[in-house]
């Protein structure tokens, strides 16, 4: 089984750890550059992107993560994790940075406040049937998709909520919360391919 990391600075770390463990992966909670070196792929959880950004710089792990992303490490980012993967972040908190890698522009909190959270059945053609039960909690919307990135899913109104690019995959919603395992499987497949 591949050894993968969950970035464990802030956010819903445990939910991701559980899904990955259930799928048979060895999971390391990553807080330091040394721990990052032991993993073949990384999940960046949902939470608060400005806090994840700040802590990643305090823990000196932001630069090492960027380097691993450039060298092709598979990464799955959900919600705040998608924000951390985006090259451009709109409505960022002052001075907020992302790791980047995904050729997209995201807008933070684009669905409104916490009490405007919602769940919906989302068609993700690449994952087939059934539709994904997607939970949105103050998630970002992908406002622009660059040439290198690819839309994986959009809401019926056209707003893009899942994108991929090579070994990177980002979702505006929280597949880790609904017993949905296909995004994590997709990620683990990228990890296996990348290691081969
Ligand atoms: N609003 C959060 C942010 O900007 C993301 C919310 C989430 O991850 N559920 O980081």
**Residues in the annotated binding site for L-glutamine:** 47-49, 108, 137-138
Tell me which long-range contacts 32-38 makes (C-beta under 8 A, separation of at least 24): 32/59, 32/61, 33/60, 33/61, 33/64, 35/5, 36/5, 36/61, 36/64, 36/65, 36/68, 37/64, 38/3, 38/5
Q: Which atom of ligand 1 is nearest to the CA of 11?
A: 8
- Output the CA 79–ligand 1 centroid distance in Å: 6
Q: What is the pLDDT of residue 94?
A: 87
Question: What is the CATH code for 3-195?
Answer: 3.40.50.880
Residue 35, H or E segment: helix 33-37
Q: What are phi and psi of 66, to 5 degrees?
A: -60, -45
Q: What is the pLDDT of residue 113?
A: 83
What is the distance between the alpha carbons of residues 38 and 103, in angstroms, rounded to a whole number? 27
Q: Kindly state if the Cβ of 79 falls inside 6 Å of ligand 1.
A: yes
What is the distance between the alpha carbons of residues 184 and 73, in angstroms, rounded to a whole number? 15
CA 103 from chain centre, in angstroms, equals 14
Task: Indicate the angle between helix axes 13-22 and 182-195, nearest 10 degrees.
Answer: 70
Tens-level pLDDT at each residue, the chain (196 residues): 799 999 999 999 999 999 999 999 999 999 999 999 999 999 999 999 999 999 999 999 999 999 999 999 999 999 999 999 999 999 999 899 999 999 999 999 999 888 889 999 999 999 999 999 999 999 999 999 999 999 999 999 999 999 999 999 999 999 999 889 999 999 999 999 998 8
Q: Kindly state if the Cβ of 83 falls inside 6 Å of ligand 1.
A: yes
Residue of 11, 47, 81 to mutate, ligand 1, most atoms within 8 A of C-beta = 47
Our CA angle for 36, 42, 45, nearest 5°, is: 115
Which is it for strands 132-136 and 118-122: parallel, antiparallel or unpaired? Answer: antiparallel
- Output the CA 80–ligand 1 centroid distance in Å: 4
Which residues contact residue 129 at a Cβ distance below 8 angstroms, ignoring those fewer than 6 apart? none
Q: What is the pLDDT of residue 22?
A: 97
Q: Kindly state if the Cβ of 175 falls inside 6 Å of ligand 1.
A: no
Q: Kindly state if the Cβ of 26 falls inside 6 Å of ligand 1.
A: no
The residues annotated with a catalytic role in the active site are 79, 174, 176
């Amino acid at each position: 089984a591949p050894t993968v990391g969950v970035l464990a600075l802030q956010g819903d770390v445990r939910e991701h750890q559980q899904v990955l463990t259930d799928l048979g992966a060895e999971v390391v909670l990553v807080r330091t550059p040394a721990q990052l070196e032991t993993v073949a792929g990384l999940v960046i959880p949902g939470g608060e992107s400005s806090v994840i950004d700040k802590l990643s710089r305090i823990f000196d792990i932001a630069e090492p993560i960027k380097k691993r992303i450039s060298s092709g490490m598979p990464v799955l980012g959900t919600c705040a994790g998608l924000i951390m993967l985006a090259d451009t972040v709109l409505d960022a908190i002052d001075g907020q940075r992302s790791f980047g890698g995904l050729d997209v522009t995201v807008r933070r909190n684009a669905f409104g406040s916490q009490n405007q959270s919602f769940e919906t059945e989302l068609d993700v053609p690449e994952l087939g049937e059934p539709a994904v039960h997607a939970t949105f909690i103050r998630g970002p919307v992908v406002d622009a998709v660059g040439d290198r990135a690819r839309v994986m899913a959009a809401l019926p109104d056209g707003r893009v909520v899942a994108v991929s690019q090579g070994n990177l995959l980002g979702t505006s919603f929280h597949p880790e919360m609904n017993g949905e395992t296909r995004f994590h499987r997709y990620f683990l497949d990228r990890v296996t391919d990348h290691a081969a």
